Chains A and B, each alone.
Chain A
């Protein structure tokens, strides 16, 4: 098996304790390369914690996380993995262009990457406005752009579409799929269930446990539910009954 066919992310027996709570009691999963994988689940279920562990910024209590063939957080991964935090983490006092220019420089991105990214996240008319003067949705697109600008092989996106209108959400998801077609792997968290159908695969996370790791169609077939939201509820009910 060649290197490029190995999964993008392999998590084995991951345990995370935050404060005094065991947020992830032991989870194993894989994320295949070149796909858009959705990480869904209720608020407080551990999505951000899992994503942070994959990026390598979370202190973990046990288990292994392998990303693109290397242990999560290895220096060699820092230019290959892009991370968009749940709350926008860009410089509010700088313009959109200045923010992206800085993150492009850190990633060693080629010339032209900044302008291409500004277009991709649809901020051309606001490119010279300070981020503080943008709306919430625009702000989160700047944050998304700051990760896209380095063209990483793996994109970890924590609720990137919060606060976006349906048209923009459709466009952003279309962009995710274009990126995946070009070989980028995307792990995207959301708690909007209707976004589930836009993913190639779904991970359902609840209270640190993996309820499902399946394709959207597989999930519907398995639960007999008409949509992702009801499939998710059905899985919770079965788990609670067991």
Chain B
């Protein structure tokens, strides 16, 4: 890997995103609107305080998964990926460039969404608020890494979008938001142990409930990051310089 090429690639991806004002708007505004809607639905109850933080972690994962899988699929189908792989750009540079670009975007998204959740909609968490942003950004990078990997199995953008319910919804159902994970049937609980989103939501729940959250949150964040690294490593196996 070559840091210069990684950064050049991240810069190019960010330029492309910046050129698409509507996508930037959706990326930033939609999570805020959803969080606001949630606060409104549950106004006057404790529910928003309980699930607000976990959802701040789930949104960036889902959104970045979608955006990345469609963008990289476009890169495959337009022939630019084939061209890139005939240049000195390494597969690792390509993947890390994407992760860096979407990670940077996720920082902005998480700052805005968390800011609105805490100061406008009155989300109350016991742990330090800045950790909300850290967890959200790591979740977004996980979404990007998973999207990079999954896009290898889609032939069209339509298929790529279909992978969202296939990959993301089961994780959403099992991550502990609907039913606490220790209340799930044993087999499902074990299954949820190997799904990254479970740890993302665990981290947010800990932040919600405990003042001394940093240690446990740190462990969960490390696990989520490890999943992201594994997805990127698997993704690099799907990038072939030679094709039929």
Contacts and interface: CB of A to CB of B under 8 A. Distances in A.
B242 interface: yes
What bracket does the count of chain A residues touching chain B fall in? 20 to 34
B45 interface: no
Interface string B75-98: 000111011111111000000000
A88 B79 CA distance: 8
Given A55-B86, A98-B15, A106-B87, A18 B80 contact: no
A18 B244 contact: yes
Interface stretch (B4-12, B125-133, B153-161): B4-12
A55 B243 CA distance: 12
Given A57-B242, A105-B4, 20 more contacts: A56-B86, A57-B243, A59-B243, A73-B242, A75-B88, A83-B83, A85-B82, A85-B83, A89-B79, A89-B80, A91-B16, A94-B12, A94-B16, A105-B5, A106-B5, A106-B8, A106-B88, A108-B88, A146-B83, A150-B87
Nearest to A103: B87
A59 B242 contact: yes
Contact of B12 (A58, A85, A102): A102
B88 A78 contact: yes
The dominant DSSP class at the A interface is loop
Interface string B106-150: 000000000000000000000000000000000000000000000
A81 B19 CA distance: 30
A138 B80 CA distance: 17
A28 interface: no
B219 interface: no
